[in-house]
Structure 1
């Protein structure tokens, strides 16, 4: 990386960029994570007990998750739901990315990208709350369905995980669309035309030509959406019901309602390990490396 930056900007500028990047990684990523790990291995003690015989390293905070049936169930549900959100976002984003990269004219693509980006100029809380209004029991969606005669009584869209899924797909769709778009755009159109000339249908062309070429983009999008979904707090807090709690809400409760930062740090670190494991699994399944994803 230093050689590339040096060739483009010169050695002094490249050295400054690498130094700032290293400082950012150390101060904003490495040190906070090390502090969180240290917190997670300490018991929650009164100030007078800190430094005493009870202040020792322990894995009791991690064991709590496996001994608490409710928290364990929410943890597993968060994993499964985040995977489902990732798959739904991929299913929605792939046709859109293909249209933007290979079907739409430059003017149409620019307009479509603008329409995708403009809503994200608004704060995530407000965008999520708009879905809360839209999916409410007496909200616009139910009123339209009632007026069309498609339903006989309003549907409680926010009573389960459906509202959370919709909100997350909408909230993180750009993190899937743009990696896919970048990957598909670099595909030589002659390969697609050659496949069609040889008799391959649309599905087979995508399965044999487009998807293998777009693997880095798919892997990047899946990793980003899963990590954002698993770590989301605002969307499940606003669109979820009491029976559809997210693991991040449990972490928040440990930190700010229970005042047990040690237990919260242990839960947060377990979530981090989960996200890293998912990232490694996706890279292995798609047979891509960090260099491929960085492109």
Structure 2
């Protein structure tokens, strides 16, 4: 705060703090408090709201525990989101390392541009593109059959595999850029010194690169997991009955079942899960909020 005061002065600093506080309170705190209030009240017709039956209760939360189908979908969403995060990291780490430590300064802007250009298109359109690619008679199945890798087309659409592939692609930038920012600050002399001392590439990455990039890994995992767990468009378009996402259940409670109280309870449970994942990642990688903010 002292640095901000010195740079911008007291008046502009006060304006910045006030705008940030307004944004946090109006767009984060108050909506969450309203959602909690909704989740702790029963779903009643308008004529009974405020009456003797309108009391705080945890029944909306108990519903998830009693409903075996919804509980199974919730656990499946957690597992699939973690898998999406792991696969995204596996795909992005080599790319981020190459961009940060190997690519020449003249080619780096072109690589970044090639990564960003596909994301100028709306997420729904990119998801529809994967719908065409993963179709039963789509380009992917035709290529696999043509190469002799499979005897007959595979139904990717409607399966967990199709949803996971689509999510890895949709959220890849949220992993690659935090990794790139973290690895780029690593002094290349450390890598050269390790190679001169006889360390192999696996040991160099395990002992030097990955420990240095822990803040970037934590940020990438947090963002990817939260976006995957809260995604609706990708599982709705690429998924099916066997790959339903918890957000689809929340959507059904709000807009099809008309039970906003139950939907708010499910949404708050998902929020608690994401907050717990953030704290777990910070503890696992031994980073604090200051490291994550960088």
Shorter chain as denominator, the TM-score bin is over 0.9
CA deviation map 1:55-83 (0-9, x unaligned): 00000000000000000000000000000
Gaps of 5+ in 2: none
Q: Between Structure 1 and Structure 2, how many residues are aligned?
A: 294
**Counterpart residue number, 2:201:** 202
CA deviation map 1:30-74 (0-9, x unaligned): 000000000000000011111111100000000000000000000
Whole-angstrom CA distance in 2 between matches of 1:197 and 1:13: 51
1:9 Cα deviation after fit = 2.4
**Counterpart residue number, 1:94:** 93
1:226 Cα deviation after fit = 0.4
**Counterpart residue number, 1:41:** 40
1:215 Cα deviation after fit = 0.3
**Counterpart residue number, 2:144:** 145
Whole-angstrom CA distance in 1 between matches of 2:203 and 2:177: 23
1:113 Cα deviation after fit = 0.8
Within-5 A mapping of 1:1-295: 2-295=1-294
Whole-angstrom CA distance in 1 between matches of 2:101 and 2:25: 41
Gaps of 5+ in 1: none
Whole-angstrom CA distance in 2 between matches of 1:13 and 1:172: 36
1:110 Cα deviation after fit = 1.0
For structure 1, which segment, 117-126 or 146-155, has the greater mean C-alpha deviation from structure 2 after superposition? 146-155
In the superposition, the TM-score normalised over structure 2's length comes to 0.98
CA RMSD in angstroms, aligned pairs only: 0.8
SS of 1:187's partner is coil
For structure 1, which segment, 135-144 or 93-102, has the greater mean C-alpha deviation from structure 2 after superposition? 135-144
Whole-angstrom CA distance in 2 between matches of 1:159 and 1:248: 16
Whole-angstrom CA distance in 2 between matches of 1:196 and 1:119: 36
Whole-angstrom CA distance in 1 between matches of 2:173 and 2:4: 28
For structure 1, which segment, 151-160 or 224-233, has the greater mean C-alpha deviation from structure 2 after superposition? 151-160
Whole-angstrom CA distance in 2 between matches of 1:171 and 1:88: 12
For structure 1, which segment, 144-153 or 197-206, has the greater mean C-alpha deviation from structure 2 after superposition? 144-153
